[in-house]
Structure 1
């Protein structure tokens, strides 16, 4: 199938990507439950009628509300529910329990990196650090609390530490000279240190991988280069949406509801790297 728009329904935001041949031409982040803003964005993009959508979500109730809204407007909406339909091998214990954002990031990263392995650092509500090998097998990864969750936990589970609204990786570097800066420096050290530890662990097992960075909470991590053990570092803000576009384009038209496990994509679609 060839989607006109792809939609990633997250836990806090709804992201749309307007598709052109071989790439996401434009992306936008919208409120999760605001049909008026959705309608305004449809008009702003002057989408074709009817419009073909591909949807993936880590938030099934919100995804179903959004799909019903699209169908009420006469749109064709396909919701990914079976990970076996992805152009990716799944080398994990329980494929259906892996978040769609992680799987789609792996689809896009493999298309960019193959035949080299790829490590994906995605930082938002949570931080995930995942790996896909050079044959297109998703090997799993690690999930850590993101900056907002870390700040909230410190406040909720102590008597005196203040609440800090931390929307992205803090820029404060230790030692912090006051309580607030000490919290921010600790959050930074936990996330950056965790990412570095995992990167080097993966590189021991999957030599010379590419590193891909994505997510709205990256802060200055988006500009990092992780050094000589890695082929290079790429910041791809639309990585999840690119993976969704690639996955949708790998399906027949109309797409099936179920299929046997698919193999890795054989070609590398063009994806802008920044």
Structure 2
């Protein structure tokens, strides 16, 4: 089976994939100092709890936006899974799509992979919204070419900045406000309204502007851990693909016809 590793700014996601089916997934906080040995102890226990063993893994693929995390993940693959990890974006897993922006090399691996996965799963022009440390909006056309997008602060990052900069404001949970309206009568409600409804307003406003600029019918795909948080209170998403990046890694390996 394939062990797909998506190392983001906040979490590293590990997923065990058979073909294109995700059999199990786990996440751990991103820490570039974490050694291959530490990963192995943690991951071996989780594999065992799901009824798997390290020997079930015969291929490893890594995507990361944290360069310092790469080395220890590669050592994890070679030392504990006895295989050299494939790196998304490098031979034999080049992107294979047109990246039609001013600085193609600056495109994050996760955003390229999301574009590849989205077009493998859906037809036409697409907007992919990925709710992570940052919230990214990525536009691709019907041919699968990446055309550009938007980077906005993630909702957790926005809340952290607010609480850090304003001494008297408490830390609150990120969730839909308990009150039905948008006139808060206490500090917590006012913060919840501002963070939650303000974020939805940003999403809806940016998607509306992107759709106007694309000027063709476009499907909006949401991914990332917080996508479902907003789903109940906006109709801006056409579909939610919670594991889009992992799916993309599996699709890239499959398309490259890489066998153990």
Query: TM-score, normalised to structure 1's length?
Result: 0.79
Match of 2:246 in 1: 241
Q: Detail structure 1 runs of 4+ shifted over 6 Å in the superposition.
A: none
**Alpha-carbon distance between aligned partners in 2 of 1:24 and 1:221, rounded to the nearest angstrom:** 24
* Matching of residue 211 in structure 1 with residue 209 in structure 2: no
Residue 61 (structure 2) aligns with: 54
Are 1:4 and 2:24 counterparts?
A: no
Q: Within 2, Cα distance between the matches of 1:220 and 1:151?
A: 15
CA–CA distance in structure 2, aligned partners of residues 122 and 78 of structure 1: 23
Report the number of matched residues.
245
RMSD (Å) for aligned C-alpha atoms? 2.6
1:25-36 aligned at under 5 Å gives the runs: 25-32=23-30, 33=34, 34-35=38-39, 36=41
Q: Map residues 1-274 of structure 1 onto 2, 5 A cutoff.
A: 4-32=2-30, 33=34, 34-35=38-39, 36-43=41-48, 44=50, 45-48=52-55, 51-73=58-80, 74-82=82-90, 85-114=94-123, 116-162=124-170, 164=171, 166=173, 168=174, 170-172=175-177, 174-206=182-214, 207-223=216-232, 226=235, 233-251=238-256, 253=258
Return 5+ residue gaps in structure 1 as ranges: 255-274
Gaps of at least 5 residues in structure 2 are none
Closer, same or farther: CA 89–80 of 1 in aligned 2, 3 Å = same
Q: Which has the higher helix share?
A: 2
CA displacement at 1:237 relative to structure 2 = 0.9
Q: Is the 8 A contact 2:227 2:240 kept in 1?
A: no
Q: Which deviations, in whole Å up to 9, do the C-alpha atoms of 1:51-88 show, x marking residues without a partner?
A: 21111001111122111122112233112244991132
Instruction: Check whether the contact 2:20–2:247 (CA below 8 A) recurs between aligned residues.
Output: no
Given that residues 30 and 37 in structure 1 are in contact (C-alpha distance below 8 angstroms), is that contact kept between their aligned partners in structure 2? no
Distance change in 2, residues 1:112/1:49 (3 Å): closer
> How far apart, CA to CA, are the structure 2 residues paired with 1:77 and 1:18?
14
Secondary structure of the equivalent of 2:184? coil
State the Cα deviation string for residues 17-45 of structure 1 (Å, max 9, x = none).
22222333432223444422122134343
Structure 2 equivalent of residue 259 of structure 1: none
Larger RCO: 1 or 2 (CA < 8 Å, sep 6+): 1
